[in-house]
Amino acid sequence: MYNIQKYKEEIVKCLTDLERLTILSNKAGHFDLNKNAEEFYRGLLNLFYDWNLKNANTDRDPNYVGVDLLFLGEKIAVQVTSEKTSEKVHKSIIGFKKKALNVCSELYILMFTGNNGS
């Protein structure tokens, strides 16, 4: 039981560190961590929910409109963002409707910065 608690605490610490580092990097004009977060959360969501998410951003389409991750088998789309604004949510929904709605029926928006990310 001790190991489970230890792992939970370590996961929470890592998620908190990722959030803080992303906030600081974004404020400095460096956005690479946002791309890395897509892959991190892809793996985490696949593990937790037994999904098979793939990155929607490819060499042919490096900034897929409205979503970052797709699981076509379950028709799931995920937008991973460090922005926590209603504008970002609306933009994601509009992009999802334009491009991913024809292949997905569900959109999840994962905002990985909290209220302290202002």
Domain residue limits, the chain: 2-117
Closest CA to 67 of 83, 78, 58: 78
Sign of the C-alpha dihedral, residues 20, 36, 45, 64? positive
Contact 93, 68 (CB under 8 A): no
Which pLDDT value is given to residue 117? 42
Note the pTM of the prediction, 2 decimals.
0.80
pLDDT in tens, 76-114: 999 999 888 899 899 999 999 988 888 899 999 999 876
pLDDT cut 70: percent of the chain above it: 94
Long-range contact set of residues 57-64: C-beta below 8 Å, sequence gap at least 24? 64/99, 64/100
